[in-house]
Amino acid sequence: MIQDGETISVIVPTYNAEKTIDDTLLSVRQQTYQDLDIIIVDDGSTDGTGEKCLAHARADSRIRIVSQANGGVAAARNRGIAEARGNFVAPIDADDLWSPTKIARQVRVLRNSGPDVVLVYNWSAYIDDDGAIIKTGEQPGFFGDVGLMLSYGNFVGNGSTALMLKSAVEAVGGYDSSLRARKAQGCEDWSLFLRLADIGHFALIADFLTGYRQPLNAMSRDIAQMLKSDEIVRAELLARHPEYANQIKWGRRYYLEWMFRRELTDGNWSEAHSLFWELVRRDDSRSLSVWRAAKLSRLMALRVSRKSHSGGPPFLPSISP
> So what's the pLDDT on residue 271?
84
Query: What average pLDDT does range 154-169 have in this prediction?
Result: 97
For residues 130 and 48, membership in a common domain is answered with: yes
Handedness of CA 7, 8, 13, 16 (dihedral sign): negative
Please state the length of the chain. Answer: 321
Please check whether residue 320 lies inside any domain of the structure.
no
For residues 61 and 108, membership in a common domain is answered with: yes
For residues 193 and 48, membership in a common domain is answered with: yes
For residues 97 and 149, membership in a common domain is answered with: yes
For residues 210 and 272, membership in a common domain is answered with: no
For residues 189 and 274, membership in a common domain is answered with: no
Total number of domains constituting the chain: 2
Say which residue, 203 or 281, is predicted with more confidence: 203
Query: What average pLDDT does range 257-262 have in this prediction?
Result: 85
- Structural domain boundaries enclosing 265: 241-301
> So what's the pLDDT on residue 191?
98
For residues 186 and 272, membership in a common domain is answered with: no
For residues 210 and 260, membership in a common domain is answered with: no
> So what's the pLDDT on residue 282?
72
In this prediction, what percent of the chain has a pLDDT beyond 90? Answer: 69
Tell me how far apart the alpha carbons of residues 75 and 69 are, in angstroms, rounded to a whole number: 10
Please check whether residue 268 lies inside any domain of the structure.
yes
pLDDT tens-digit profile of 8-36?
999 999 999 999 999 999 999 999 999 99
For residues 208 and 247, membership in a common domain is answered with: no
pLDDT tens-digit profile of 233-251?
999 999 999 999 999 999 9
In this prediction, what percent of the chain has a pLDDT beyond 70? Answer: 85
> So what's the pLDDT on residue 311?
42
> So what's the pLDDT on residue 298?
58
What's the whole-model pTM score?
0.87
Comparing 63-77, 135-149, 261-275, 277-291, the range with the smallest average pLDDT is 277-291
Please check whether residue 310 lies inside any domain of the structure.
no
For residues 130 and 42, membership in a common domain is answered with: yes
For residues 169 and 97, membership in a common domain is answered with: yes
Region of 21 on the Ramachandran plot (φ > 0 left; ψ -120 to 50 alpha; else beta): alpha
Please check whether residue 229 lies inside any domain of the structure.
no
Q: In whole numbers, what is the pLDDT of the chain averaged over residues?
A: 88
- Provide the b/e sequence for 19-45 (b: ≥16 CB within 10 Å): ebbebbbebbbebebeebbbbbbbbbb
Comparing 64-73, 194-203, 292-301, the range with the smallest average pLDDT is 292-301
- Kindly give the pairing relationship between strand 163-165 and strand 88-91: antiparallel
For residues 131 and 215, membership in a common domain is answered with: yes
> So what's the pLDDT on residue 1?
63
Which CATH number fits the domain that encloses residue 209?
A: 3.90.550.10
Query: What average pLDDT does range 161-168 have in this prediction?
Result: 98
Could you tell me which of 114, 122, 103, 112 has the C-alpha nearest to residue 37? Answer: 103
CB contact at 8 A, 69 and 180? no
pLDDT tens-digit profile of 91-147?
999 999 999 999 999 999 999 999 999 999 999 999 988 888 998 888 999 999 999
Tell me how far apart the alpha carbons of residues 219 and 179 are, in angstroms, rounded to a whole number: 13
Q: Which residues pair with 133 in a beta bridge?
A: 127
CB contact at 8 A, 37 and 85? yes
pLDDT tens-digit profile of 167-181?
999 999 999 999 999
Query: What average pLDDT does range 26-50 have in this prediction?
Result: 97
